[in-house]
Amino acid sequence: MTSTFTFSNQTIHRLGFGAMRITGPGVWGYPHDRDGAIAVLRRAVELGVDFIDTADAYGPEVSEELIRHALHPYGEVRIATKAGQVRPGPGRWIPCGRPEYLRQQCELSLRRLGQESLDLFQLHRVDPTVPAEEQFGLLRELLDEGKVRAVGLSEVSVDLIQRAEEIVPLSSVQNLYNVTSRHSEEVLEYCESRGLGFIPWYPMASGELARPGGVLDSLASSRGVSVAQLSLAWLLHRSPVVIPIPGTSRVDHLEENMGATTLVLDDELLATLNSLSLPSVN
């Protein structure tokens, strides 16, 4: 199993960190324990994480500010951020893909993160009220201008990926995907065929299969690991282009998640996980 992935001449370890949960409730405002959030970020890097995923909408702005405070200068750590959603309040998200807005948010992320060029800039959502080609065209402009080093999309279909590729070179796609939610299987397969990084957000198993006493819980318990570790290990085994980004606000959970990198899945266990099927999974 390959432990690294390279995009736009940037090589990272495939188990990253998602920085949404270091904000307040509803992904709004600062966390109750600001020092604890900073400690989690620093511990992640100590444990070998060199890919951190965030967004201007996390907080909003809070996640990026905390990342800079905790980790700048970043050294070999790559920061992926996103723009394209506005936040009118806790738990509320509204797509906004106007080119002038995306450009503004790119500039603000550069300032907050303290970078001259963003390592990976992702369109958080394709705004259905703005022609997709205009949104993709702005990403191409930022890439050509050197404002960003690589471009990605989030929550897209294969058709949208292909339309974007006609305008701008892509490095990654970020869709919801885990062992119990495989709606983006076709997208993952396309990314693998194109050598694009596939970043599964919500990488932990959930629902009936993952409940206490459920199939995944029983499999994990029989091997002395957690459901989280088993979920992440399956993703790492699923494809060499998969880059899971589990998030947490606690150091102990972070350390538990990192244990997935050394978890070996034998053929029998891997086959069992691959064959899991429920109407809500397919």
* DSSP state string for the chain: ---EEEETTEEEES--EE-STTS-TTTBS--S-HHHHHHHHHHHHHTT--EEE--TTTBTTHHHHHHHHHH-S-TT-EEEEEE-EE-SSTT--EE---HHHHHHHHHHHHHHHT-SSBSEEEESS--TTS-HHHHHHHHHHHHHTTSBS-EEEES--HHHHHHHHTTS---EEEEE-BTTB-TTHHHHHHHHHHT-EEEEES-S--SGGGSTTSHHHHHHHHTT--HHHHHHHHHHHH-TTB------S-HHHHHHHHGGGG----HHHHHHHHH---TTT-
Domains of the chain: 4-203+238-244 (3.20.20.100)
- Per residue in 205-239, pLDDT (tens digit) is 877 778 899 889 999 999 999 999 999 999 999 99
Q: What pLDDT score does 211 carry?
A: 87
Q: What pLDDT score does 282 carry?
A: 38
* Average pLDDT of the residues in 241-259: 97
- pLDDT at residue 25 is higher than 50: yes
- Per residue in 71-108, pLDDT (tens digit) is 999 999 999 999 999 999 999 999 999 999 999 999 99
- pLDDT at residue 279 is higher than 50: no
Name the pLDDT band for 281 (thresholds 50, 70, 90): very low
* Average pLDDT of the residues in 27-43: 98
* Average pLDDT of the residues in 151-175: 98
Catalytic residues: 58
Q: What pLDDT score does 277 carry?
A: 55
Name the pLDDT band for 184 (thresholds 50, 70, 90): very high
* Average pLDDT of the residues in 12-22: 98
* Average pLDDT of the residues in 250-258: 97
Name the pLDDT band for 2 (thresholds 50, 70, 90): confident
* Average pLDDT of the residues in 97-121: 98
pTM of the model: 0.95
